[in-house]
Amino acid sequence: MRLGVCYYPEHWQEAMWKDDAARMKALGIEQVRIAEFAWSRMEPSPGEYDWGWLDRAVDTLGNAGLKVVMCTPTATPPKWLIDRHPEILPVGADGRVRAFGSRRHYDFSSPEYYEASKRICEAVAQRYGQHSAVAYWQTDNEYGCHNTVVSYSPAAVKRFREWLKARYGSIGALNAAWGAVFWSMEYRSFDEIDAPIGTVTEAHPSHRLDYRRFASDEVQRYNRMQVDIIRAHSPGRPIAHNFMQLFTEFDHYKVAADLDVASWDSYPLGALEEQWYAPDVKARYLRTGHPDFASFNHDVYRGMSKLPFWVMEQQPGPVNWAQWNPAPLPGMVRLWSWEAFAHGAGCVSYFRWRQAPFAQEQMHAGLNTPDNRLDIGGGEAARVAEEIRTVLADAQADANAQVKTPVALVFDYEAKWLFEVHPQGADFHYPRFAVEYYSALRSLGFDVDIVSVHAPLDGYKLVVVPPLPVLPDDFAQRLAQSGAQVIVGPRTGSKTVDLQIPANLPPGPLASLLPVRVWRVESLRPNVTEPVAFGAQTGHARHWRDLIELSESSDAAQDGASEVRARFADGHPAYVKHGAVHYLASLFDDDATQALFARIASEAGLAPTPLGDAVRVSRRGGLTWVFNYGPGTHTIDAAIADRDFVIGTRAIEPQGVSAYRSAAA
């Protein structure tokens, strides 16, 4: 548990650096990320490097006792490089080449950029790989930000054809896998295949999905190149990348597998404004963010990080990039920081030390204002630093321990691409549904592991699977072996890996555990819901209905009868239980989902504790953390003794945090 900050010495007069470093240290900051956008200062002209200023900056920080996270500067290739190799620029789905003038103006498939990146990474890694102040590395910055994962350049199409050749072997195999005979879309060679854009009506969905997979793999390949270079020159120093909040355009599990630390950039207010939330929800959590959004991301990145995950950039005040940018309520910067630690973070690093007075992000707050006074967020960071000392000093807790929980939620990236390519209902938004399932679990007081569809499931008592169209061959077996109760969302098992309907219809390979046949589906427009009878309770189905036939003749069914636990008004099953598998044929309203999850959790031997909308609980290393996102004071159950509080008290003010020693750590 430690604090960090993002710092841009190149933005400020050198005369300020020493004081900055001293004030960071005094505030309780331990690590400082630098240089991720500094290419034009490292290499002002082709091949002419200027390391002097950066040497002095690193020394200044090191001399103040701070550890440096050194970055490769590849997110911002300078103008001279673009002018020499304009083919570096990515191409949009509209066919337009994107221009220099902001950032991330490069194509992952560009051979010219790949080589240029190797050169600058070599240069930086060589220069600072053994510097005593450099303790960590970051590759590039926010891969894919501003919709830059997928490019449609000639270079990308060339590499896509090779990717297809490697995947399918022969063009006949591709035609068969895609069902290209439909609409005479068959190809005679891989060289006939273009990018799936600009077509008269929607391009072939298998073609589109493969293009997304290819683009994701290109990110992985590019990052691995950087990792290899850094490891060669700076062995033993952990390498991170700063992922983004609920960003799903490439497979993060694959990229994280090459890193030591999965870190992410947390901007709860910007996320609330930009995500799918309804206007009233955006108004309710305007200055706090949604109680389950940052948490979801913490758990996503904890699940893929070899070392404890970090928040590489923590929102310290208002930001500049959402449509509207309100200010966090006093206390929220502290709350967000502790929430990250409670979810297992190793470091929370604020973005940025001081608000810059110029360029695109001049309205993005820092820990200090542009006139160099400590801002509210800075004060709260100082308080967190103080509290970290208290917590780490507590003899009865092990605050840095790993988070342990018997509840897992499966989160997948291909699922997002597949439903986007092939939605069948215009608002079928996979990440939203995954977050809604997560939110139901969190509102019941559970800690949640978020895991890949390939992750081991042993040891979990409850596994929740949001709509997951493509199932790995061994998934049903792993579910069964886990012994867990399994909640499965609609559309699960609905597609093969080639984006075809399974021969046995959905849920495809899951039918071995759940002997049903989804013989028909329907998507529902937003102003339509369907009543569902959950015993005496009525809930509502939204977005989607799987119409289910129970298959009495299958092997699995002979193990025991399927139980229809809820029905739609027209009699079709809405929720079927078979053995330990609970299949939901639709997406229900929040109350119904929560009630249903509570029941199944109890059946799994867990003890759900309904918390309402605004209070959340997390457990780590012998401490139980309680966070109050609501407008009123929350009072913790009197069963917790006053003396057990390490942070705060039983009465938690709005935006407040308390931590007490768990009964059984």
Catalytic residue positions?
Answer: 142, 313
- Between 96 and 119, CB nearer to its own copies: 96
Task: Give the DSSP H/E element, type plus range, for residue 123.
Answer: helix 111-128
Q: Segment near its own copies (CB under 8 A), from 94-102, 344-352, 429-437, 610-618?
A: 94-102
Q: How many CA atoms lie within 13 A of 72 on its CB side?
A: 33
Tokens in use for 379? 């004060």
- Between 203 and 257, CB nearer to its own copies: 203
> Which 7-26 positions form the footprint of its own copies (CB under 8 A)?
8, 10-11
Among 166, 183, 395, 553, the residue binding its own copies under the rule CB under 8 A is: 183
- Distance from chain centroid for Cα 607: 27
Among 320, 477, 633, 635, the residue binding its own copies under the rule CB under 8 A is: 320
Among 47, 166, 236, 280, the residue binding its own copies under the rule CB under 8 A is: 280
Q: What are phi and psi of 347, to 5 degrees?
A: -150, 140
Among 188, 235, 395, 638, the residue binding its own copies under the rule CB under 8 A is: 188
**3-class SS of residue 624:** strand
Q: Is 179 in the site for its own copies (CB under 8 A)?
A: yes
DSSP track, 217-274: HHHHHHHHHHHHHHHHHSTTS-EEEEEETT--SS-HHHHHTT-SEEEEEE-HHHHHHH
Among 360, 537, 538, 558, the residue binding its own copies under the rule CB under 8 A is: 360
> Which 610-629 positions form the footprint of its own copies (CB under 8 A)?
none
Among 257, 286, 497, 615, the residue binding its own copies under the rule CB under 8 A is: 286
Tokens in use for 532? 């569902």
Residue ranges of the alpha helices (H) in 28-94? 39-42, 52-63, 79-84
Q: Is 57 in the site for its own copies (CB under 8 A)?
A: no
Q: Is 204 in the site for its own copies (CB under 8 A)?
A: yes
Q: Is 96 in the site for its own copies (CB under 8 A)?
A: yes
> Which 145-174 positions form the footprint of its own copies (CB under 8 A)?
145-148
> CA–CA separation, 353 vs 316, rounded Å?
9
> CA–CA separation, 337 vs 339, rounded Å?
5
> Which 539-558 positions form the footprint of its own copies (CB under 8 A)?
545, 547
Q: Is 78 in the site for its own copies (CB under 8 A)?
A: yes
Among 118, 398, 500, 611, the residue binding its own copies under the rule CB under 8 A is: 500
- Between 30 and 375, CB nearer to its own copies: 375
Among 282, 461, 540, 661, the residue binding its own copies under the rule CB under 8 A is: 282
**CB of 634 vs its own copies, minimal distance in Å:** 20
**CB of 506 vs its own copies, minimal distance in Å:** 10
Q: What are phi and psi of 282, to 5 degrees?
A: -60, -35
Q: Segment near its own copies (CB under 8 A), from 90-98, 250-258, 339-347, 402-410?
A: 90-98
Q: What are phi and psi of 240, to 5 degrees?
A: -120, 165
DSSP track, 43-59: SSBTTB---HHHHHHHH
Q: What is the dihedral of CA 352, 354, 356, 360, to 10 degrees?
A: 20
Among 52, 236, 279, 535, the residue binding its own copies under the rule CB under 8 A is: 279
- Between 93 and 232, CB nearer to its own copies: 93
- Between 90 and 573, CB nearer to its own copies: 90
> Which 565-594 positions form the footprint of its own copies (CB under 8 A)?
none
Among 112, 190, 369, 613, the residue binding its own copies under the rule CB under 8 A is: 369
Among 59, 87, 112, 361, the residue binding its own copies under the rule CB under 8 A is: 361
- Between 357 and 456, CB nearer to its own copies: 357
> CA–CA separation, 585 vs 568, rounded Å?
10
- Between 119 and 520, CB nearer to its own copies: 520
Residues in contact with 119: Cβ distance below 8 Å, sequence separation at least 6, in sequence order:
none
Going by C-alpha positions, the residue among 284, 300, 290 that lies closest to residue 269 is: 290
DSSP track, 160-198: HHHHHHHHHSSHHHHHHHHTTTGGG---SSGGG---S-S
Q: Is 76 in the site for its own copies (CB under 8 A)?
A: yes
**CB of 505 vs its own copies, minimal distance in Å:** 5
> Which 206-225 positions form the footprint of its own copies (CB under 8 A)?
206-207
Helix axes 590-603, 430-443, angle to 10 degrees: 60
> Which 516-535 positions form the footprint of its own copies (CB under 8 A)?
517, 519-525, 527-528
The string over 555-566, giving b where at least 16 C-beta atoms fall within 10 Å of a residue's C-beta and e elsewhere, is ebbeeeebebbb
Q: Is 39 in the site for its own copies (CB under 8 A)?
A: yes
Q: Segment near its own copies (CB under 8 A), from 60-68, 453-461, 501-509, 557-565?
A: 501-509
